[in-house]
Amino acid sequence: MKKISFIIILLMLLTLTGCSKSQKLTCTATDETTEIKKYSTLNIKVKNNKVSDMKFTVDMIYPESYQNQLQAMANNIKSSKPYMDVILIKDGIRLITNDDPDNSFIGIKMDQEITYNELKEVLELQDYICK
């Protein structure tokens, strides 16, 4: 009887603590050191100590002198990087990449064992601000 009670309590604790709960991490970075400003956002879901979903968005804002070339630049990116969604935005171009299991744009593959806190620490070392 004690074993059954112990197992029931253990199962309840595991359910309450959410051992397989998905956690979402959002990290941003800004690069305004050149005339082309870059604003990056990483949205990452971690489940069972593995990345389960990742989306990387970069807004590139160009100075006035580039504005008439934006469509040509967007077309060039679309043809050279077909895995990216390329969208014209006010004063620039937005690039959106969804990670897949075979590749990684942040150096962490989706099947790699990593905790939410480890992932956050790695990204913050790369100058991302995470929350």
In a domain, 85, yes or no: yes
- Find the domain containing 102 and state its range: 20-130
In a domain, 73, yes or no: yes
Does the pTM surpass 0.85? The reply is: no
Instruction: For residue range 10-26, list pLDDT tens digits in order.
Output: 444 444 444 568 899 99
Per-residue model confidence (pLDDT) at position 13: 42
In a domain, 6, yes or no: no
26: domain CATH number is 3.30.1830
In a domain, 1, yes or no: no
Number of separate domains in the chain: 1
Strand order in the sheet with 85-89: 85-89, 92-98, 50-61, 37-47, 23-31, 129-130
Instruction: For residue range 45-94, list pLDDT tens digits in order.
Output: 999 998 888 899 999 999 999 999 999 999 999 999 998 999 999 999 99
CA distance 3 to 29: 51
